[in-house]
Amino acid sequence: MTLAQRHFVMLRRMASLDPAPCFMGGYAEDALLAGSVTRPHGDFDWLLPRSELELRQAQAERLGFSGFDTWGEAAPGVPFYLFTQTGDLKLEIGIADEEDGALWVKIHRLFFQIGDQEPPAGYRVRMPDDTFDHPPVDIDDVTIRVASPLALYRLRVSIASQGSFGELSDRQRESSRLLREKLLADRSESELAPQLEPT
C-alpha cells in the first residue's frame, strides 16, 4: 500500500476505537471543510482532556504506537504535547487542562527550536466550551470525532500570535480562513481573537 492508503487504514482504525478520540489538525479540517481527504497528511493529531490521557495512550499502543516523546510541557514534568510513531505513521497528541472553570492548553515549555532559538512559551490558551462537543463528521466513508471549528481556529491563531511553532504555512493560513468564512461567520470578533494569558 502507498503511504496515503496506510494513513486511511489507520484513520479507519482510530475512528473505530471505543470511545473514539477527537481529531484536530489536517484530518479534522478536511472533514469539516471538504468531507474528504484533500491532500497527503504527515501525521494524525488528537486533542484530549488530561483525564483521558491514560486511555488514549493505551489506545495508541493497541494501534502499534509506543515510546511517547514529550515535545511540550504544561508544567515542569507535565506533558501537553506528545509524539509517537509506528513505522512511517506519526501521531501527535495535544492535552488540555480543566483549570479555573475553563479548558486551557498550557504551554510552559517546548522541546524543539525554531531556527536556533527556544520557542516562546509561558502562557495558556483558553479553549471554547464546545471544544469536544462537535457532532461527528464524515471524511470519505469514515466518521470521526473532531474538535469544534472554533477550537481549531482559536488554538491556531492564539499559538501563531506567539510564534511558538514558527510562521504559519500558506496551507494553514488558508485552512484558517476557510474555517472562519464557512463555519464561524456568526462568531464575534472577541470569540475569534487569540484567547491567552501569561503563566
**Residue 108 contacts residue 101 (beta carbons within 8 Å):** no
Q: Could you give the angle at the alpha carbon of 80 between the alpha carbons of 92 and 64, nearest 5°?
A: 35
Does residue 155 contact residue 125 with C-beta atoms inside 8 Å?
yes
CA distance 110 to 108: 7
- Quickly count helices (H) and strands (E) in the chain: 6, 11
pLDDT at 66: 87
Predicted structure pTM score:
0.97
**Tens digit of each residue's pLDDT (9 = 90 or more) over 94-151:** 999 999 999 999 999 999 999 889 999 999 999 999 999 999 999 999 999 999 999 9
CB-side neighbour CA atoms (13 Å) of 125: 28
The total number of structural domains in the chain stands at 1
Among the listed residues 139, 179, 174, 135, the one whose alpha carbon sits nearest the alpha carbon of residue 38: 139
Note down the domain range covering 84. 3-198
CATH number at residue 19: 3.30.460.40
pLDDT tens, N- to C-terminus, the chain (199 residues): 899 999 999 999 999 999 999 999 999 999 999 999 999 999 999 999 999 999 999 999 999 998 999 999 999 999 999 999 999 999 999 999 999 999 999 999 999 999 889 999 999 999 999 999 999 999 999 999 999 999 999 999 999 999 999 999 999 999 999 999 999 999 999 999 999 999 9
> How many C-beta atoms surround the C-beta of residue 136 within 10 A?
13
Tell me the residue type at 49. Answer: P
